């Protein structure tokens, strides 16, 4: 029971940053004056979040998947993620929406929360570090996800409500990882590779092009900074 309460606490703290990032984004949208500086901040934020997500794929999701699965399942699950999100992205685009940032955040957040629960079964300290890392990742990702929802014509209150609900998805994912998947490493690895394929498709199809800003180098530097955050987090996690 004590372990369960601790997992709920850790995953809640890492998940609430989904809502906090969206709330900060709302304040930025409403109170920051339009102009070049605002554009640079927006594009740099997108690039920074993209850098963090790529780091999560490179250092967490893909390595754990490759370590566990044989070659054929590895290829199948990775390509399956890319193909599924190719069709999902096309469907959303035809409907006139763009929620690639939100999808990427969830494809990153949920598998890592599952890993948090699975890891916690054997190493409490590593679980705590992973929770901190996930929470830091969620801030820029949800900042951008809120703006994505607004571009898709969602009202501000509804956008924040969606992020508020999603902030609890990590709790359910972590509990699932702890109770159901700690003894099913191949299933967890398959989920991570599926997510990786989907994330990389969204990064290069939608997120990276959105980060580019004419006559500004800040977005590219933001991507480097985001990737560095991932490197530091992985080093701390060991």
pLDDT recorded at residue 94: 76
Position 156 scores a pLDDT of 92
Q: How far apart are the first and last CA of the chain?
A: 28
Q: SS3 for the chain, per residue?
A: CHHHHHHHHHHHHHHHHHHHHHHHHHHHHHHCCCCHHHHHHHHHHHHHHHHHHHHHHHHHHHHHHHHHCCHHHHHHHHHHHHHHHHHHHHHHHHCCCCCHHHHHHHHHHHHHHHHHHHHHCCCHHHHHHHHHHHHHHHHHHHHHHHHHHHHCCCCHHHHHHHHHHHCCHHHHHHHHHHHHHCCCHHHHHHHHHHHHHHHHHHHHHHHHHHHCCCCCCHHHHHHHHHHHHHHHHHHHHC
Comparing CA positions, the residue from 162, 125, 130 lying closest to residue 146 is: 162
> Does residue 205 contact residue 92 with C-beta atoms inside 8 Å?
no
Q: What is the pLDDT of residues 70-123, one digit of tens each?
A: 999 999 999 999 999 888 888 777 766 667 778 878 877 888 788 888 777 667
The token duo for 134 is 């996930």
In the chain, which residues have pLDDT < 70?
A: 1, 95-98, 121-122, 126, 238
**In 3D, which of 102, 76, 111 has the Cα closest to residue 206?**
102
What pLDDT does 69 receive?
A: 92
Q: How many CA atoms lie within 13 A of 134 on its CB side?
A: 35
Query: What CA–CA distance (Å, rounded) separates 42 from 22?
Result: 13
Report CA-CA distances (Å) from 167 to 65, 75, 138, 212. Answer: 25, 31, 9, 28
pTM: 0.79
Q: Please give the pLDDT value at position 203.
A: 85
Distance CA 141, CA 23 (A): 12
Residue with tokens 């490179």: 58
């Amino acid at each position: 029971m004590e372990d369960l309460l601790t997992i709920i606490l850790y995953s809640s703290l890492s998940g609430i940053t989904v809502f906090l990032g969206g709330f900060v984004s709302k304040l930025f949208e409403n109170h920051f004056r339009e102009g070049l500086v605002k554009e640079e901040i927006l594009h740099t934020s997108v690039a920074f979040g993209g850098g963090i997500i790529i780091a999560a794929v490179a250092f967490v999701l893909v390595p754990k998947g490759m370590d566990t699965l044989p070659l054929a399942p590895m290829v199948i699950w990775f390509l399956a993620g890319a193909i599924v999100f190719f069709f999902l992205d096309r469907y959303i685009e035809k409907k006139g929406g763009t929620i690639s940032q939100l999808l990427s955040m969830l494809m990153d957040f949920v598998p890592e929360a599952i890993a948090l629960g699975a890891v916690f079964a054997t190493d409490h300290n590593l679980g705590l570090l992973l929770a901190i890392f996930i929470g830091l990742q969620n801030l820029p990702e949800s900042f951008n996800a809120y703006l994505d929802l607004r571009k898709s014509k969602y009202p501000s209150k509804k956008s924040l409500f969606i992020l508020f609900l999603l902030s609890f998805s990590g709790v359910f994912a972590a509990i699932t990882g702890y109770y159901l998947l700690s003894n099913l490493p191949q299933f967890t690895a398959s989920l991570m590779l599926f997510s990786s394929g989907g994330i990389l498709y969204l990064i290069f199809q939608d997120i990276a092009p959105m980060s580019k800003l004419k006559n500004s180098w800040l977005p590219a530097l933001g991507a480097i900074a985001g990737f560095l955050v991932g490197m530091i987090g992985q080093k701390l996690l060991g």
